[in-house]
Structure formats: structure tokens, C-alpha cells
Amino acid sequence: MDESLVERVLVAVELIPAGRVASYGDIAGLLGIGPRQVGAIMRHHGAGVPWWRVTSHAGDLPAPLLRRAADRWAEEGITVKPNGLGCRINQYRLDLVAWADAWDRAIAAQEKPGNPS
């Protein structure tokens, strides 16, 4: 298990501002890994970070998590529309660019100061 990779994912999640959400794929894309890796990491290391701000591309989550997430979303003013099994978040994808910049700076800060080629 590459702890540094885990760290990248957790940081990315923490950088998502309240009231905003990003998909696994969005984060995975920025990290250059597979979206499933983000989910796998969140499952094992999700505690401690605003995991409810990370959803599938459809804006839904596994039943147990969706329940808790919905509660958090309500607090952050994220509107959700019940849709059978899952839920759909309003334009969640557009919010990624808003925190992508902050993410980039944070990742750069994590890079070893003395580890350039």
C-alpha cells in the first residue's frame, strides 16, 4: 500500500469546501490513478476526512453511507433529489474546478522539497 498515494487522496478530499462535492473519478483523474482506487482508499482511510463530499459520478453512495452523507449534505446546503436507489446532486461536477487550484498547491507542498529529478 502506497501511503503517499493515500495521503494525496485524503488531502484532495479535505480540500473540497463545504457545500461542494467531487466524484471519485474527478479526484482519480487529478491524481492520475483509477477511480476505484479512490473508493478503495476512502473505504479504509475515509474516517477523518469529509468523505460525504465524495460521491460516484451519479452523485450517489452505498445505502449505509448515503444515509449519513445525506445528513451532512443537509447541513452544508447541498440539495439532493431522491431517485430510487440513489440520489443525484445538483451540478456537482462543476464544483471541482473551484477547489482544484487549492488542491494543486497542497499537493505541491507535499512533494519532497529536496526531491526534484
CA distance 41 to 7: 9
CA distance 99 to 46: 19
Residue 32 contacts DNA per CB under 7 A? yes
Query: Which CB, 65 or 106, lies closer to DNA?
Result: 65
Give least dist CB 51 to DNA, A: 4
Residue 12 contacts DNA per CB under 7 A? no
CA distance 7 to 9: 5
Instruction: Report DSSP state, residue 25.
Output: H
Which of 15, 21, 39, 87 forms a contact with DNA (CB under 7 A)? 39
Residue 81 contacts DNA per CB under 7 A? no
Residue 58 contacts DNA per CB under 7 A? yes
For 92, list phi and psi in degrees, rounded to 5. Answer: -60, -30
Residue 28 contacts DNA per CB under 7 A? yes
Which of 19, 62, 67, 101 forms a contact with DNA (CB under 7 A)? 62
- CA 61 to each of CA 18, 66, 92, 96: distance values in angstroms, whole numbers, following the listed order: 18, 5, 14, 18
Contacts with DNA, residue ranges (CB under 7 A): 1-2, 5, 23-26, 28, 32-40, 42-43, 46, 51, 54, 56-58, 61-62, 65, 83-84
